[in-house]
Amino acid sequence: MAEKKALGKGLSAIFSDFKEDSENIENIAIDDIKPSPYQPRNFESDDSLLELVNSIKEKGVIQPIIIRKKEDSCELIAGERRLRASKLAGLQTIPAIIKNFSDEEAAQIALIENIQREDLNPLEEALAYKKLIENFDYTQEELAEKLGKNRATIANTLRLLNLPKQVIKLIKENKVTAGHAKALLSLNDEKFQIELANLIAVKKINVRDTEAIVKEKTISYDFSEYENLLQNTLKIKTKIKYSGKKGKIEMTFGSKEELEDLVNKLAKI
């Protein structure tokens, strides 16, 4: 396998040996450019795209996109928003830099470009990490080193994909944030995860309050002292269950006689 280059410093490090002068830039027909199969970002609800369209209509495309030649067409590497906005602005061609990138490099750059925008949806980021791991057999540690990130960050982001599909949908719609999702992951109750996620979306509950709700739900209470006291007093197996808001006492008897004895003891208390 070829040596893996670290991409943590971003696109500028990747193109450090490449000067973007007039000799390196070509005007490419927009219809000849295929979208990147590695694009992690969902642009369906990107309202800011309209601002870019207006800017391009007024000033043109200031920064060229990055493409690679692939068979009889061109494939986008970086500049998805510029390409989409240029098409919406009615342009027929767009300035582009042609690079000879491998599939691995193309996938990494598509992710890096969007992460550096700092508005990549956490679910989109998780799916991008998953795709890189599956396509190129990275371990989480290798991927973290490749992207200049902490391995725990990669692992925690990937954990979002373990949430119920109803919760994932809310994250995709930006109604539940990564901070909310991290708190929800602490819950073992899938039904409550969904209920709380819906409540977050409707009531706009902040992350701190979400964490407090989760803590109250998951806090562990030790009632062994009370259980032993009841068992010694009533001579019957006793279990106390408490969720943080309400609870119940379970007593197990083995015969009708044991039940009658228990009732008599309780009646005298």
Active-site residue, from 75, 80, 113, 125: 80
Active site includes 104?
no
Instruction: Say how far apart CA 79 and CA 52 lie, in whole Å.
Output: 12
Q: Which long-range contacts (CB under 8 A, 24 or more apart) does 7-13 make?
A: 7/108, 7/109, 7/112, 7/146, 7/147, 7/148, 8/146, 8/147, 8/148, 8/149, 9/148, 10/112, 10/116, 11/78, 11/109, 11/112, 11/113, 11/116
**Active-site residue list:** 80
